[in-house]
Chains A and B, each alone.
Chain A
């Protein structure tokens, strides 16, 4: 079974802080993704990565950056947290490009910015 682990289930931070959300997958997947989920808006893609040290912007990258130094780990960084970044953050991974395999998700990090 694919295991995607997010380092924190709940996190409370203050406005202006630099926030790191960590995600690790144990299935040697090439692709990793960061989404945020907000009520009534579904899941929206922030950033994704097809390989180590590679990243691409999703639909809502503003205010975020990512890091992928190792294949199994994908970090989401809020450079200067703001209250509108309070949300549920979901990490996902999938096998490889064109493999027709679904993305598998972690359990999410509920982040509150005060």
Chain B
């Protein structure tokens, strides 16, 4: 049973536009959510996180939104840049990001110049 789902395997956007990556979860015990970015042949890099007590967290061009009632979170990248092209993983944990993480399968983002 997949507890964290990223239903779009891929997404393509134009440079300068907004990229929206989506993630759904089923476990109501999750209280901490993270996004990681991964380039080929490199390890995942932490991007941004959000605690369940918030509904929005912003860091520069990256914003994560959390809708607890819908068990849904999204990552917005504005404006998108070609260097953002990577695989993005959503992850969740039940006791903070240091604990065991459950990952989605990833969404490959391509930003076209």
Contact = CB atoms under 8 A, between A and B. Distances in A.
Interface string B9-34: 10000000000000000000000101
B101 A103 contact: yes
A95 B99 CA distance: 10
A103 B47 CA distance: 11
Contact of A42 (B46, B95, B104): B104
Interface residues of B, number: 25
Contacts of B45: 105
B71 interface: no
A108 B43 contact: yes
Interface in A22-60: 31, 33, 40-45, 48, 58
A41 B99 CA distance: 20
A103 B98 contact: yes
B100 A58 contact: yes
A98 B103 CA distance: 18
Given A42-B89, A43-B89, A101 B98 contact: yes
Interface in B29-49: 32, 34, 36, 41-46, 49
Nearest to A58: B100
Contact of B98 (A9, A43, A99): A99
A104 to B, nearest CB: 7
Max chain A Cβ within 10 angstroms of own Cβ: one of B32, B91, B100 = B100
B42 A100 contact: no
8 contacts: A43-B89, A45-B100, A98-B98, A100-B98, A102-B97, A107-B43, A108-B41, A110-B41
Top 9 A-B pairs, shortest CB-CB distance = A105-B43, A42-B105, A94-B98, A100-B96, A43-B103, A102-B46, A102-B97, A42-B103, A107-B43
Interface of B: 9, 32, 34, 36, 41-46, 49, 51, 89, 91, 95-101, 103-106
Interface of A: 4, 9, 31, 33, 40-45, 48, 58, 90, 92, 94-108, 110
